[in-house]
């Protein structure tokens, strides 16, 4: 079906298109289903929402994410992405191959998955877990999408804590020490998710934290280190989307956690990473045995990616 | 934060509200998070999407589902619904209590759950299953929401097939036979989901299939039976939403299947139900043992709800 693109300024997270209800009925698509869009030589996938009045028959309402679409658009029903079959496979507790994980990561990156499917992905990796092989493949695939930073020096240091007591703020002290010792440490931090302020929010009281990759290279070149907001750089866009699906469910499966941390470090060009693993009652990791096992897994995935990972197992009990 | 409602004609399936990005930042909410809306004496939950231009600062864009909202609206961050904790509990393979299942059903009915959470719910019931107790409670809860039909006669017959060969169309033959035998059979059918045509689509070639509950009562009163589209009556709205989440993932967990079928029958006022269970290679149920077990479960849940359920185990192999 041929429709004319009309820009509708809505900033949804998914590539939403608005179809008039009679056009949708003729195409045979329902809300939340996918359509293939073809304009000129280009194609994209849109997720359908319906309207009676906002766009008229013959018009395709394109939201902000699809704002590059202009003119006549050929709209057809899009097939289900392959990664949905792989998510189903994981729900059936069957180990995924490297190319299947890579396809899931690619489809999340291209925003081909609906939220229901993303919810099933994080649920499947939570209930059935990810093997060491799967975790390695997933980490590699996640590091492969989005931006990366290349450095001219042999050692790039970084640190990460998997989450202990909120607000203890080790990073603003540690980064200048490491930089003063002559190492390069391009540290990205997150804003608050559930606590009152994340490291990036805290640093923003003192200085700007939103910089591009070029600016980060420049700052680290001059000073040896930086403390910036990771959300301003597109280092691991897939991780951000997976976290968005994990957050409302308060789940953070081990394999996904390792892939999340190490894919970001790999994209940032880190070669030597210290990971803080707080353990204790109320912490993400409750026992010392569990902390040691997680540390070993971090080391193995790091080795596989060519990064030296050291884990510090610390007291994270909430008292 | 006080905002003024402005109607935006978008027919999303969830109760979407559009916030200007600076209002959202001030409130501290992100896309897909929930806000509590209060206008006059009334309240509702909205799921946030962001816009820069479509609604201006100080304005709350309300989509079609929230079209009853007018005037000044007090907007605040809404807490996470309790049912998210119960979904997480089910992901951890812990049996849910009656009131927890009832809260999940109520929150799906009130559209308080985001799609990511709905995806996790169907994934959890798929991977960890539902016990007989859970299935009974779920069926009751699902029958309790939406419309119900009450009849003045002691026996209301119905039939259902859990899905075998598409397009064999037993219903249009069976309903007139049952009605001619003097029984009441108010049969609702679905439109096509994956096949070319569902029973309702097929019937629509011959006559209208979209009727209200009052019209169905009238037709069945005159003729003894009907063949109508279930989507036109709000008999099991929660089931429709759960199926929407199951369909893209091609999952249909046993407990959820029983709850889906029997809650609809209960809402329609059925007292005597025949369930066709086709089994064989390529069918939903592959072995005779599995079919017999499912039949027994159908009987037990039927008993619990005060319905006589008879299962016919038939050959459903695809050849």
With 0-12 CB in 10 A as exposed, 13-18 as middle and 19+ as buried, what is B36?
A: middle
How near does any CA of chain A get to the CA of B98, in Å? 21
CATH number, domain A2-77 = 2.40.40.20
- Cross-chain Cβ contact B118/A116 below 8 Å: yes
**Is domain A157-236+253-315 classified as CATH 3.40.50.300?**
no
**Is domain B83-144 classified as CATH 3.90.105.10?**
no
| pLDDT (tens digit per residue) in B32-85 | 788 999 999 999 889 888 887 788 999 999 988 888 999 999 999 988 889 999
- Cross-chain Cβ contact A123/B248 below 8 Å: no
Most A CBs within 10 Å, among B59, B116, B246, to test the A interface: B116
How near does any CA of chain A get to the CA of B128, in Å? 9
Please identify, in words, the CATH class of the domain defined by B157-315. Answer: alpha beta
- Cross-chain Cβ contact B115/A116 below 8 Å: yes
Q: Is the pLDDT of residue B267 over 80?
A: yes
- Chain-wide mean pLDDT for chain A? 90
In contact, A55 and A23? CB cutoff 8 Å: no
Average pLDDT over residues A294-316: 95
User: Structural domain boundaries of chain B?
Assistant: 2-77, 83-144, 157-315
Cα–Cα distances in Å, from A318 out to A251, A283, B200?
Answer: 19, 7, 59
Strand partners, B161: B276
With 0-12 CB in 10 A as exposed, 13-18 as middle and 19+ as buried, what is A245?
A: buried
Residues of chain A positioned with their CB less than 8 A from the CB of B250: 84, 88
- Cross-chain Cβ contact A49/B12 below 8 Å: yes
Q: Which residue has the tokens 């197992």?
A: A313
- Chain-wide mean pLDDT for chain B? 90
Q: Which residues of chain A have a Cβ shorter than 8 Å from any chain B Cβ?
A: 8-13, 18, 21, 31-32, 49-54, 64, 80, 84, 87-88, 91, 93, 114-120, 122-124, 126-128, 244-245, 248-251
Cα–Cα distances in Å, from B294 out to B137, B172, B243, B302, B319?
Answer: 17, 26, 19, 12, 23
How near does any CA of chain A get to the CA of B51, in Å? 5
Residue A194 banded pLDDT, cuts 50, 70, 90: low
Residues of chain B positioned with their CB less than 8 A from the CB of A88: 249-251
- Cross-chain Cβ contact B251/A93 below 8 Å: no
- The residues of A carrying an active-site annotation are 252
How near does any CA of chain B get to the CA of A20, in Å? 10
Residues B239 and B160: their CA atoms lie apart, in Å, by: 15
- Cross-chain Cβ contact A124/B127 below 8 Å: yes
| pLDDT (tens digit per residue) in B91-121 | 999 999 999 999 999 999 988 888 899 999 9
The interface predicted TM-score of the complex, written ipTM, equals: 0.83
Residues of chain B positioned with their CB less than 8 A from the CB of A197: none
| pLDDT (tens digit per residue) in B177-199 | 999 999 999 998 877 665 667 78
Q: Is the pLDDT of residue B165 over 70?
A: no
Question: What is the share, in percent, of chain B residues with pLDDT greater than 90?
Answer: 61
Element (H, E) at B74: strand B72-77
User: What is the predicted pLDDT for the residue at A223?
Assistant: 96
The Cβ of residue B296 has, within 10 Å, a number of other Cβ atoms equal to 12
Q: What is the DSSP-derived secondary structure letter of residue B21?
A: H
Q: Is the pLDDT of residue B11 over 80?
A: no
Residue A14 banded pLDDT, cuts 50, 70, 90: confident
- Cross-chain Cβ contact A116/B54 below 8 Å: no
Residues of chain B positioned with their CB less than 8 A from the CB of A53: 9
Most A CBs within 10 Å, among B94, B115, B123, to test the A interface: B123
């Amino acid at each position: 079906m041929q429709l004319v693109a009309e820009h509708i300024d809505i900033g949804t997270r998914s590539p939403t298109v608005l179809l008039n209800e009679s056009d949708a009925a003729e195409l045979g698509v329902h809300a939340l289903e996918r359509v293939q869009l073809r304009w000129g030589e280009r194609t994209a996938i849109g997720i359908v929402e319906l309207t009676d009045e906002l766009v008229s028959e013959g018009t395709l309402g394109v939201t902000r994410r699809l704002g590059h679409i202009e003119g006549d658009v050929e709209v057809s029903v899009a097939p289900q992405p392959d990664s949905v079959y792989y998510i189903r496979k994981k729900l059936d507790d069957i180990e995924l191959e490297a190319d299947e994980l890579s396809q899931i990561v690619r489809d999340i990156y291209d925003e081909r998955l609906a939220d229901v499917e993303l919810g099933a992905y994080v649920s499947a990796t939570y209930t059935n877990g990810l093997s060491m092989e799967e975790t390695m493949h997933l980490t590699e695939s996640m590091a492969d999408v989005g931006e990366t930073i290349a450095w001219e020096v042999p050692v790039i240091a970084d640190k990460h804590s998997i989450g202990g007591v909120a607000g203890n703020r080790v990073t603003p002290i540690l980064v200048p020490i490491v930089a003063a010792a002559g190492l390069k440490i391009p540290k990205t931090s997150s804003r608050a998710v559930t606590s009152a302020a994340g490291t990036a929010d805290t640093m923003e009281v003192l200085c700007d934290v939103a910089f591009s990759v070029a600016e980060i290279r420049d700052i680290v070149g001059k000073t040896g280190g930086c403390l910036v907001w990771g959300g301003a750089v597109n280092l691991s866009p897939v991780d951000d989307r997976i976290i968005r699906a994990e957050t409302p469910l308060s789940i953070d499966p081990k394999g996904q956690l390792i892939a999340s941390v190490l894919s970001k470090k790999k994209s940032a060009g880190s070669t030597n990473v210290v990971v803080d693993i707080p353990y204790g009652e109320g912490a993400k990791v409750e026992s010392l045995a569990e902390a040691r096992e997680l540390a070993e897994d971090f080391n193995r995935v790091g080795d596989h990616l060519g990064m030296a990972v050291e884990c510090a197992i610390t007291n994270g009990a909430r008292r």
